[in-house]
Amino acid sequence: RKEVEQDPGPFNVPEGATVAFNCTYSNSASQSFFWYRQDCRKEPKLLMSVYSSGNEDGRFTAQLNRASQYISLLIRDSKLSDSATYLCVLVSSYKLIFGSGTRLLVRP
């Protein structure tokens, strides 16, 4: 079983829609979690950290559910510029473990 699993998508949504991605992880000892964004043929960039209490950054909300071992990313009022691949990342033994990503396509 992979340490981090994501639905590859693509999620195809209209502008203005709300979309949510989940990511499950197998290592219950993981302490830190992140969402990274990767545009086509570009490098990954940190989108936001994920805290147990949940955190929000503008239209983006990240949640962590330790009991069920998943993290989520909610995007409200989707923009065309949100089209990208979203990578779920956790820290395990001082290393970053990346999921394979969920692709989002926002259409006009």
For other proteins, the binding residues (CB under 8 A) are 4, 8, 32, 34, 41-46, 87, 91, 94-101
Using the structure block, give the residue that is written with the tokens 């473990």: 97
Closest to other proteins by CB, 48 vs 78, is: 48
3-class secondary structure, 42? coil
C-alpha span between 103 and 108 (Å, rounded): 17
Q: How far is the CB of 108 from other proteins (least distance, A)?
A: 27
**Letter for the amino acid at 94?**
Y
Q: How far is the CB of 43 from other proteins (least distance, A)?
A: 4
Contacts of 24 (CB under 8 A, 6+ apart): 4, 5, 69, 70
Closest to other proteins by CB, 78 vs 102, is: 102
Q: How far is the CB of 34 from other proteins (least distance, A)?
A: 8
